[in-house]
């Protein structure tokens, strides 16, 4: 039960006594040794959360719910869009399988601090492998199952895993993609050689087993179960690679203690979900949303989590929400656009209370469509792989109602997040958003470099006192953060800065626009000019639509913006996680 009724009361409590605030939040977790301090500075200049405390993340996510008599409650529901399989796992069954696989990993020599690289799609076995690593104090490193050999080899060399877990195939749509060739090439190309490989054999495309190196995943589940091992709160739980914020791939390290406390608090505070509630995220387990809200957060709170392999259609999402009484749905703007394109109607789901959106910019027209389709609150919020949970949100677990007028914005800062704006021009209101240090629990404990945890130097400003988000925005007097886009998405027109996202928001309001992206191109006279790439709602696009879009932007922002080119395309390039690749468009 949250002790605050309002957002202001929560902010006052966190600001007045941050140590007391976070130690109280830490009571949501079962500790082998409870912490006596919340935040502590590290010798390397970064900070640890709940140092001195010991716990086990797997125990908190699984075992304690079985011990509390809830072993028969469903913990995980898995659906494959590729094979049409569906599997439900109770907490007791999950405990048995995780404890057995943890015993198998230990038999292969895996211990505290060892890395286990998991190259598998969103499957029950992927979740079991993650939890089994946490159970014995090993560090899981989940990578996208469809990576080419070179990318997989780079990650092998970066984290030097003791064991590599792989699925025999992944899927593109409903087409099986064998993993054998990429796996063998990655192992041959990497300088580091794992001790062994563990293979999840899939009926659609089994892999040839090398008996000298490979072990069957399900055979390892049959090993004698092992109990959870207490680890220090500051010990790494996982490494997750990202290239999103500072260019080159980096291994973001998440700790055990801060991660567990932050996610347990967030489920109640931000999402309004508690024990027994069903939470559904459409994200793959290989991405940060899948880590945080596909696996750990719902289980830490004793809930039920729905995870899916592949991109679920609107009908699959509706079916899963109805069949499993889903209370909260967490999805992406890309997923909503696919639903809108198909004309989906998603009302008539009595258990669904709210829909959350994150991952990239969501324009107001898209959010308004989603609200009319679901007939439920659809709210935006902002976070990054590096933070692991929301920097800003709308806090639907509080008693006060979130303002409908602000639902299209990304919300107000969460507890422990203290953002400021570094103005782009003297006297300006907008600029890059910086976060004061220390960051709250649940954020990155550092980056993985040269075989060890390092301070996240690439993310700090020149003074070393602020975390750079590399996102631009402004903060109004009511503490609402308004997002304007990535720092490198800002367009400089004749010395004036304009947000590409701001232009996109105006374009998206045109009735014939399905999705759009605005990028900067070089202009010999004005330095840069905006170009809009638009996927129309119907194909072929009418020439008049381009003129209407140009006029619309000129009317809303002024003709100085200089939008003259509107290019209609059938689709926009996106990353594997669904974000629009604006750099690729700008380079085209």
Q: Provide DSSP, 361-419.
A: ---HHHHHHHHHHH-S-EEE-B--TTTSS-SEE--TTSSSPPPGGGTTS--EEPTT--E
Amino acid 487: pLDDT = 64
Q: What is the pLDDT of residues 291-313, one digit of tens each?
A: 999 999 999 999 999 999 998 99
Strands 412-413 and 392-393: antiparallel
The whole-angstrom separation of Cα 48 and Cα 19 is 13
What's the pLDDT score for residue 243?
57
Low-confidence stretches of the chain (pLDDT beneath 50): 244-247
Distance of CA 503 to the CA centre of its chain: 26
Give the alpha-carbon dihedral of 519, 523, 529, 531, to 10 degrees: -50
**DSSP track, 232-257:** ETTSEEEEEEE-TTTSS-EEEEEESH
Q: pLDDT digits over 451-501, tens only?
A: 999 999 989 999 999 999 988 889 999 999 998 777 666 676 755 667 787
Of 179, 108, 172, the C-alpha closest to 143 is 179
The secondary structure of residue 389, as a DSSP letter, is: S
Q: What's the CA gap between 42 and 446, in Å, rounded?
A: 11
B/e letters for 481-503, b = 16+ CB within 10 Å, e = fewer, are bbbbbbbebbbebeeebbbbbbb
Which pLDDT value is given to residue 559? 78
pTM: 0.87
Question: What three-state secondary structure class fits 216?
Answer: strand
Of 537, 539, 534, 543, which is closest to residue 569 (Cα–Cα)?
534
CB distance 181 to 166 below 8 Å: no
Residue 9 has what pLDDT? Answer: 95
Greatest extent of the chain over all pairs of C-alpha atoms, in Å: 72
pLDDT at 576: 66
Taking alpha carbons only, the member of 175, 174, 158, 149 closest to residue 166 is: 149
d(CA 309, CA 361): 24
Beta 214-216 vs 196-200: how paired, if at all? parallel
SS3 state of residue 253: strand
CA 225/CA 192 separation, integer angstroms = 30
Instruction: Report the distance separating Cα 216 and Cα 197, nearest Å.
Output: 9
Q: Which residues pair with 482 in a beta bridge?
A: 474
Of all helices (H) and strands (E), which one includes residue 496? Answer: strand 496-499
Q: How many CA atoms lie within 13 A of 116 on its CB side?
A: 33
Give 54-111 as a DSSP string: EE-HHIIIIIHHIIIIITTSEEEEEEETTT--EEEEEHHHHHHHHHHHHHHHHHTT--
CA atoms within 13 A on the CB side of 244: 25
73-316-79-368 Cα dihedral, nearest 10 degrees: -70
């Amino acid at each position: 039960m949250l002790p605050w009724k309002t957002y202001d009361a929560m902010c006052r409590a966190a600001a007045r006594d941050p140590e007391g605030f976070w130690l109280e939040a830490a009571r949501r977790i079962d500790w082998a040794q409870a912490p006596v301090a919340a935040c502590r500075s590290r010798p390397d200049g970064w900070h640890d959360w709940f140092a001195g405390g010991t716990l086990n993340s797997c125990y908190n996510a699984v075992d304690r719910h079985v011990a509390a008599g809830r072993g028969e409650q469903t913990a995980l529901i898995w659906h494959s869009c590729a094979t049409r399989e569906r599997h439900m796992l109770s907490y007791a069954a999950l405990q048995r399988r995780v404890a057995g696989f943890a015993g198998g990993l230990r038999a292969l020599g895996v211990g505290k601090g060892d890395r286990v690289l998991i190259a598998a799609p969103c499957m029950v076995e992927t979740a079991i492998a993650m939890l089994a690593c946490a159970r014995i104090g090993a560090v899981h490193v989940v990578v996208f199952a469809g990576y080419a050999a070179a990318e997989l080899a780079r990650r092998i060399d970066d984290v030097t895993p003791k064991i590599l877990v792989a699925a025999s195939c992944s899927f593109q749509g409903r087409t099986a993609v064998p993993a054998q060739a990429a796996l063998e090439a990655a192992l041959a190309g990497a300088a580091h050689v794992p001790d062994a490989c563990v293979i999840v054999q899939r009926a659609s495309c089994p892999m040839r087993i090398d008996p000298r190196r490979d072990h069957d995943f399900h055979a390892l589940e049959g090993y004698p179960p092992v109990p959870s091992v207490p680890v220090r709160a500051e010990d790494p739980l996982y490494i997750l690679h990202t290239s999103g914020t500072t260019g080159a791939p980096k291994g973001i390290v998440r700790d055990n203690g801060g991660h567990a406390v932050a996610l347990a608090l967030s489920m109640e505070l931000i999402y309004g979900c508690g024990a027994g509630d069903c939470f559904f995220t459409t994200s793959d387990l290989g991405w940060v949303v899948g880590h945080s809200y596909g696996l750990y957060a719902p289980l830490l709170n004793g809930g039920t989590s729905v995870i899916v392999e592949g991109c679920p259609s609107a009908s699959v999402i509706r079916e899963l929400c109805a069949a499993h009484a889903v209370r909260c749905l967490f999805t992406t703007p890309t997923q909503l656009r696919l639903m809108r394109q198909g004309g989906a109607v998603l009302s008539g789901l009595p258990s669904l209370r709210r829909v959350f959106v994150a991952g990239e910019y969501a324009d107001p027209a898209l959010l308004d469509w989603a609200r009319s389709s679901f007939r439920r609150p659809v709210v935006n919020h902002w976070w990054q792989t590096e933070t692991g949970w929301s920097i800003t949100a709308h806090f639907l677990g509080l008693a006060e109602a979130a303002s409908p007028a602000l639902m299209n914005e990304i919300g107000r800062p969460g507890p422990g997040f203290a953002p400021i704006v570094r103005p782009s021009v003297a006297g300006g209101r907008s600029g890059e958003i910086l976060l004061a240090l220390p960051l709250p629990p649940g954020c990155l404990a550092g980056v993985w470099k040269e075989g060890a945890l390092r301070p996240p130097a690439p993310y700090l400003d020149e003074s070393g006192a602020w975390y750079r988000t590399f996102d631009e925005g402004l903060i109004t007097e009511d503490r609402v953060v308004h997002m304007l886009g990535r720092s490198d998405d800002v367009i400089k027109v004749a010395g004036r800065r304009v947000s590409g996202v701001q232009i996109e928001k105006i374009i998206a309001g045109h009735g014939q626009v399905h999705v759009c992206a605005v990028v900067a191109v070089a202009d010999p006279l004005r330095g840069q000019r905006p170009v809009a790439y638009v996927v129309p709602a119907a194909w072929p696009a009418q020439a008049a639509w381009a003129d209407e879009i140009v006029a619309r932007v000129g009317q809303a922002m002024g003709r100085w913006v200089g939008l003259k080119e509107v290019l209609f395309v059938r689709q926009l390039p996106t990353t594997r996680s669904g974000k629009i690749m604006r750099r690729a468009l700008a380079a085209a």
